[in-house]
Amino acid sequence: MEVKFLTQIGTGSSATQVREVLLAAVKAIVQAVGERDRYTRHHSQNVAEYAKIIARELDLPSEQVESIYLAALFHDIGKIGVPDQVLNKPSKLEENELLLIREHPLIAGRILESFGEFRDILPAITQHHEHWDGSGYPFGLIGEAIDLGARIIAVADAFDAMTSDRIYRPGMPQAQAIDILSKGAGQQWDPRVVNAFINWWEKTYNPRGRHDWQMKHIQTIYQNFLKDTTGGKVLLLDEKEIEQFLKPLQCFAELPIENGLHLSWSRQLFSDWLGELGLDQVYQQTYQLVFSELVSNMLKHAEKGTIQWGRNSAGEIVLIANDQGQGFVLEKLPQSIMVSGFSTKKSLGWGLPFILEHCRQLVIAKTESGTFIAIKLGCEQIEDMGQTI
């Protein structure tokens, strides 16, 4: 009856008026859902605002942003069909109760599917509980097969749910929720959407800090790849672990690198230092090339930084580059390792494959200023291991 009534209104009314009536009707349902559960009364509005923020951070067209906002506003209307005793249960839900809750995206779809005005946003609503890795519901979709609006709403929905008080638990601090989103990127949530939201959150709530979510996400995704591909040579560190890594290092020199002249000067100093160590000539030449590759790539990626070198307590030669700026792009690590000469900009060198071939370990960490890259080289045929440097 309601569908027929709205259709009849449309007979003598403009499309704008019909849309306004439809919106008012659906918003009434949203409000009714909120009135049934005081803990989620403002949830849909919050999710809609967060979804709009994410969509804008992704530079989506304004019309698409508004569609995603509307879908987020309506994403939970299907809960109108969930019994009160399940919706407001203060303890863990039983399996049959979970099945009832998981029906709400489909119920929402059935409520809205008869209205042509809302057909474009139905996928975002019915799929907002799908997971990036395919473990979600109700369809078990994977990755980009999930509607982009749904992927955006999923992140907005999770963040507001985690940070809001519920009948069964208090809300958590925003920073903790951000950490959970970062760990779930690439598993429960689309990494690109998580990236957009956390970048906005950092700018808004943590402008002087830096959340190390990217490193945590990359460590999760790449740990098996790095182990299998490099034989364990590549180690990813959190920024807080850098100090511990540097403790055994006896530094010989630390120099600024901002142009080609700095590169030539530092390379000559490093070459002289290798000669003083009594290192075999073949190793000297190889390590000079490794040094050049590391410093030249620093200039290509970040335009400036510092280079330092010395030896650690095991006698290994250690080279350390600290990029300042964007630095090395960690998301490109697989290509950098597997493709000779790969770079996010023009590269004339051999890249990481050459460095990996001749080093014992490559250590990478994101820092507040850029990227920390350390290379451990062998100490073969150094005549005086006890030499003071």
284-319 tens-digit pLDDT:
999 999 998 888 877 777 778 899 999 998 889 999
**pLDDT tens per residue, range 25-39:** 666 666 666 556 655
- Average pLDDT on 204-211 reads 65
Q: What is the pLDDT of residue 30?
A: 65
User: 42-46, 133-137, 224-228, 337-341: which range is least confident on average?
Assistant: 337-341
Q: What is the pLDDT of residue 387?
A: 37
Q: What is the pLDDT of residue 1?
A: 31
Classify the C-alpha dihedral 7-9-13-19 as positive or negative.
Answer: negative
- From residue 15, give the alpha-carbon distance in Å to each of 7, 277, 327: 11, 82, 52
- Of the two residues 386 and 46, the one the predictor is more confident about is 46
Parallel, antiparallel or unpaired: strands 361-366 and 317-323: unpaired
Residue 160: CA atoms inside 13 Å, Cβ hemisphere, count?
Answer: 21
Q: What is the pLDDT of residue 343?
A: 44
Q: What percent of the chain has pLDDT over 90?
A: 33
All domains of the chain in start order, with CATH = 2-210 (1.10.3210.10), 216-377 (3.30.565.10)
Q: What is the pLDDT of residue 14?
A: 57
Q: What is the pLDDT of residue 72?
A: 93
E strand or H helix at 308, and its extent? strand 305-311
Residue 21's pLDDT band, with cuts at 50, 70 and 90, is: low
Whether residue 152 has pLDDT greater than 90:
yes
Whether residue 195 has pLDDT greater than 80:
yes
* Beta-carbon count within 10 A of 163 CB: 17
- Of the two residues 10 and 367, the one the predictor is more confident about is 367
